[in-house]
Amino acid sequence: MALLEVRDLRTAFPSKGGMTPVVDGVSFDLERGKVLALVGESGSGKSMTALSTLRLVPKPGRVTSGSVKLDGEELLSLPVTEMRRIRGGRIGMIFQEPMTCLNPVVRVGAQVAEAILLHESMSKADARSRARELFVEVGIPDPEERLDAYPHHLSGGLKQRVMIAMALSTRPEILIADEPTTALDVTVQAQILDLLRDLQQKRNAAILLITHDLGIVNELADRVAVMYAGRLVEMADRVSLLSDPLHPYTQGLLRSIPALSAPGEPLPEIPGVVPSPDQWPVGCRFSTRCPKRFEPCADQFPAESNPGVGRRVWCHAVAESAGEGAS
Amino acid sequence: MGAYVLRRLGYGVGVVLGVLFLLFLLFFTITAPEDIARKALGDKAPPEAIQTWLENHEYDRPLWPWQDWDENLLFDHYRKMLTFDFGVSDADDSPIIDRIKAGMGPSLSLTVPLLVLGLLISIPLSLLVAFFRETYIDRMGVFLCVLAMSVSTLLYIIGAQFLIGKVLRWYPISGFDASLAMLPRFLALPVLVGLISGVGGDVRFYRTVFLEESNRDFVRTARAKGAGEARIMVFHVLRNAMIPILTRVVLAIPFLFMGALLLEAFFGIPGLGSMTVDAIQSNDFSTMRTMVYIGSLLFVFGQVATDISYGLVDPRVSVE
Amino acid sequence: MSWLEPHILSNLVTLGLLVGLVFAARVVRAQRLWREAAVELWHRRRFAILVVGVYLLIGLADSISWTGGVPEDAVGVLPNAPLSILDRAFLDSREASYSAPFADVEFYGGDALRHPGGHPLGTDILGRDVFYLSLKGARVALLIGGLTSLIAIPLALLFGVCAGYFGGRFDDFVFFLISTMASMPSLLLLIALIMVMGRSTFSVCIALAVTGWVGFCRLTRAETLKLRELDYIQAARALGVSEAKIIFRHILPNLAHLIVITFVLMFSGLVLSEAVLSWLGIGVDGSWGQMIDGARDELSRQPIVWWNIAAAGSALFGLILAVNSVGDAVRDVLDPRTARES
C-alpha cells in the first residue's frame, strides 16, 4: 500500500453555469520515501491537486469527489479537527512565495515554534530550541539571532529555508512542495534544491513536488506525473519519462527546453494555448494542439494504457501503436 | 527614531501654518471685517458704531503685510493663533479661551466613553462577522451595517429622544450635571445614540480589514500548519489588522476634545461642540475661526501620532 | 436676458444630463468590461437600482418646468411662476394647516379639508401636502449629491493626476495642499465656508465640493504614481508618445473604476452632510434635512404630529440605503482586488 493514494480526485469552483472543474479525475500513488513530481503549465490544476489532498482548497471551491488515503485512512471524510492534526503534523506543505507566506508581524522563530506547538505539547523554551536546531539543519546561519528576526529582515532564500524548517518541524511523513523555488534567484534555487534533496534522503520523507520546471524534475524526482487541463496525461519514472516521453504533450514540453535544443535554430513550441475549463473539448483535452491527433481524439477521452512497467499514458495514439486499440 | 519624529513634527508645523493661511483667506478676505461688524451690530448700525466695534476687536487694520508691515491683520492672525491668544467672541465679547477651558471637560466626558465603548463593541462584532464570512451571519451582519449607516444621525437622535426620553422615560432628554453621581444619567442617552449611529460604519470598516487580512498567504500557511480557524483569526489576522485599526483610533483621539457636535447640541451638553454650534447660529466668526484652528491642530497632532505609532507597532516600518 | 431664467437653465442642464446619460450608456454597451460589470450589478442589486431609478425619475419630474398654464384660482401659487411637472401634479393641494394622513378634517380645530382623504401623508403647518414636499426633496438631494460630485471629482482628478504624473514642485505643492486641507475638520470647514459664502444651493455645493475633493485627490494621486511606473506606460514614453495622450489614453481609463466607486460612495455622504447642515440652519431650501429640522418640535406637541418627520426621514433613508447598497455592489464588482474572489 502506498503512503498516499489519490483516486479519481475532482475539485471544482462554482461558476455561472454550475461547477467548473479544475481537477478532473486525478489518480496517483506516492510511495514512502520517494519524490513524485507533478508537472504542468499554470492552469493545469497541479497546485489545486496538492491543496485538495490537504483540503485547503480556497473557498468557494471544494473537492467534489474522489478519495485521498493516507496510509489507508481516508482524508476527505475526516472531521476537521482530525484533519488539522494531519496538516502540519503528518503532511507538511511549503508554498511558492516565501515573501508573503510568513506572517509579517510575528518573529520567524515564533512561527516555527507555533508549528511545533500545534502538534506536540512542550514548553515554549523547548519549542524554541527545537526551532533553533531546525534552523541549523536547514542551513540558516546565525540561528540564534535569526530566531528573533522578522520575515522582512530575511532574504528570499532564507525565508524559504524558514518555511522548510517550519514544515519539517513535526517530522511529517509527506512534504508537499508547491513550486518551492519559482520565486527565487537561480543560484538560490540550486541551494534550496540541494537542501530538499538532503533532507529527503536523511529523513526518508516522501515529497510531492509541484513544478513546471523540468530541470528541477530532473534533479529531485523519482517519478513524474504530467498534468494537462485538470487531468493526468502521462506518468512514469523519471529516467523513462525524460529520455522516452510517450505523450505528445510531454514530448512537446521536453522539446521546448532551451538547453536541449540546437543553438541558432528557432525554439520549438507547442502551438496554441491551454484551454480554460469552459473551453475543454469533449475528448482528449490536448487534441486541439496535438500533432498526432486523429479520429477518436476529439470525441473520446483516452483510457489509461500501460505501455511499460510503471508507465501510465492517456493517449489514443500511444494506445494504438502499443496495439491496445481505441476502446 | 528621534529624527523621524522631528521630521514628522516639522511637516506638521508646516501644515498648521498652511491651515492658518487658508483660514485667513476664508475669514478675512472672503468676508471683510466690516461685514462681520455689520452681522454683529445689525445692518442699520451707523458707521461710527462699526468703526468702534472694529477698533475694539482689533480689526481696524489693513489686511496684508505689504500694506503696513507693523500693523496688519495677517501677522496679527498668525501671532495670535500661534500664541493661543484667541481674543473675544464676535458675538458676545466673551473671552474665547475661557469658554474653551470650560467646554473641554464636558466634551471629553462624552467622547471618551463613546470611543472606548465603541471599540469594545465594534471590534468583537466585526471579528465575529469576519469569522463567519460567506455564511448568512456575515450577510445579515453586512446588511444590518448598511442599514444602520444609512440612517441620518439626526433621525437617530430624534428617535432616541422621543422613544427613550418621552415614551419610556428612562433617561432625561437633555441637560447636563457635572457631579459624578448625575453624570451617567445625562450621558447615557447621548452615548447610546452615538454608539448606535456609529457601530454600523465601524463594523463595516473593521470587517473589511479583517477579511483582507484573512485572504493573505500567511493565513493559508497557518492553516497548512494545522491551526484552527479561531486561532487564525485572533493570533494571525487580528495582529495584522491592528495597524489599520490603530490608525483609525489614533486619528480619532484629537476629536475627543472637539466633542460630537450634534450630540452635544441636541442633548444640551455644554462642551466644545455646542460652543461651535452656538457660534454658527450667532455668526460668531472669531469663535468659528478658533474652533477650526484647534480642530486642525488636533488633527495634525493625531496624524503625527499615528505615523509614530506605526513605527512602534509595525516591525516593517523602519524609522531611519 | 429674460430667456436665461433659472428654470430655463435648469431645463437645459437636465437635458444636458440626459444626453450625457445616453452617451454613457452607449460607452458602457460598447466596452466589454463595463458591460459585464453593469450586468453583474443588475444581477446583484436589482431592487436597489430600481429604487434609485424611481428617485431619479421623481427628481427629473421636478426639474423640467415652464411658465403658464396655471388656472386662475389655484391656491398658493403665483400665476407666472415656473412650475415643474411635479408641481403641476400637486397644483391644487393646499390646505389651511395641519392634517393627518388620509384625514377628512384639520388636525387642530376639526374644520373640513378642501380635499378630504386626499393627502396620503397629511399636510404640514402651512397646509402643504407632505407627500408633495417629500417628492420635491428628491430633486434637492440628487442636486446636492450630483452637482457637488460633478465639481469635486474633476477637480480632484486634475490635481491628483497631474501631481502624480508630473511630480516635482507641483506634486510637492499639491501634497502640501492636500495635507493642509485634510487637516481641517471637514464639518467645521464646511460650516465656515457656508457662513462666508452664503446659503444658496450653489454655494452649499461648492462648500461640499471643497471639503470633499481632498480624499479623492489623494487617491488619484497615489494611483497615478503607481500607474506611471507600469511597464507599458514607460514604454509609451520611451516611444515618444505625448504626455497628454498617455494621460488620456492610459492613465484615466485605469482610474475610471475608482471614479465610479467614489462617486457612488460619496453621494450618500454628501446628502447626509446636507441634512446636518440643514439642522444647523445653513442647508438648502426644500431638502429633507430641512423638513426634518422644521419638524423637530412637532414631536412634542399634544397630540403628536409625526407625519412630517416620518415622511422626510423615510424618503431620506430610502435614497441613502439604496445608494449605499448599490455602492457596495459597485465596489465589489469594479474593485480589481475583490472582483477576483467572486
Whole-angstrom CA distances from C20 to C14, C25, C60, C258, C309 are 10, 9, 14, 19, 35
Nearest to B218 among A59, A81, A103 (CB): A103
User: Per DSSP, what are the bridge partners of residue C158?
Assistant: none
Tell whether C299 lies on the interface with B, counting CB pairs under 8 A: yes
Confidence band for A102, pLDDT divided at 50, 70 and 90: very high
Q: Positive or negative CA dihedral for C28, C32, C33, C38?
A: positive
Over pLDDT 70: what percentage of chain B? 91
What pLDDT, on the 0 to 100 scale, is given for residue B169? 66
Q: DSSP assignment, residue C78?
A: -
What pLDDT, on the 0 to 100 scale, is given for residue A254? 85
Q: What is the pLDDT of residues A133-180, one digit of tens each?
A: 999 988 899 999 999 999 989 998 899 999 999 999 998 999 999 999
**Chain B contact set for A87 (CB, 8 A):** 223-226
**Chain B contact set for C300 (CB, 8 A):** 166
Q: What is the pLDDT of residues B22-60, one digit of tens each?
A: 888 888 877 777 777 777 777 777 888 888 878 877 777
**Chain A contact set for B220 (CB, 8 A):** 56, 58, 95, 101
Phi, psi angle pair for A287, to nearest 5°: -60, -30
Judged by CB atoms closer than 8 Å, whether chains meet at C279 and B154 is answered as yes
pLDDT at residue B201 tops 80: yes
ipTM summary value: 0.85
What pLDDT, on the 0 to 100 scale, is given for residue A325? 47
Q: What is the pLDDT of residues B142-151, one digit of tens each?
A: 889 988 988 8
Tell whether B224 lies on the interface with A, counting CB pairs under 8 A: yes
CB pairs under 8 A between A and B: 73
Considering only CA atoms, which of C132, C140, C130 is closest in space to residue C294?
C130
Nearest to B150 among C183, C279, C324 (CB): C324
Judged by CB atoms closer than 8 Å, whether chains meet at C183 and B299 is answered as yes
Tell whether C297 lies on the interface with B, counting CB pairs under 8 A: no
Nearest to B258 among C185, C300, C328 (CB): C185
Tell whether B226 lies on the interface with A, counting CB pairs under 8 A: yes
Cell match 491551526: residue? B227
On whether the CB atoms of residues A167 and A94 are closer than 8 A, the answer is yes
**Chain B contact set for C185 (CB, 8 A):** 255, 258, 292, 295-296, 299
Q: DSSP assignment, residue A80?
A: H
Judged by CB atoms closer than 8 Å, whether chains meet at C192 and B15 is answered as no
Whole-angstrom CA distances from A179 to A96, A107, A129, A193 are 5, 24, 29, 11
What pLDDT, on the 0 to 100 scale, is given for residue B187? 80
What pLDDT, on the 0 to 100 scale, is given for residue A260? 64
**Chain C contact set for B138 (CB, 8 A):** none
How far apart CA A142 and CA A147 sit, in angstroms, is 9
Judged by CB atoms closer than 8 Å, whether chains meet at C192 and B16 is answered as no
Confidence band for B170, pLDDT divided at 50, 70 and 90: low
* A223-228, strands of its sheet edge to edge: A91-94, A174-178, A206-211, A35-39, A223-228, A231-237, A311-313, A305-308
The alpha carbon of residue C153 is apart from the nearest alpha carbon of chain B, in Å, by 21
What pLDDT, on the 0 to 100 scale, is given for residue A55? 92
Nearest to B315 among A100, A105, A166 (CB): A105
The one-digit pLDDT tens for each residue of chain C (342 residues) are 455 677 788 888 888 888 988 988 998 888 888 888 888 889 888 999 999 999 999 988 888 888 777 776 666 677 677 788 888 888 777 777 888 888 777 777 777 777 777 788 888 888 888 898 999 999 999 989 988 998 899 999 999 998 988 888 999 899 888 888 888 888 888 888 887 787 788 889 999 999 889 889 988 888 888 888 888 888 888 888 888 888 888 888 888 888 888 888 889 889 998 988 888 888 888 899 989 888 877 777 777 788 888 899 999 999 999 999 998 888 888 876 544 433
On whether the CB atoms of residues B146 and C324 are closer than 8 A, the answer is yes
Q: What is the pLDDT of residues A189-235, one digit of tens each?
A: 888 888 888 888 888 889 999 998 888 898 889 999 999 989 999 99
Residue B293's closest chain C neighbor by CA?
C184
Judged by CB atoms closer than 8 Å, whether chains meet at C299 and B151 is answered as no
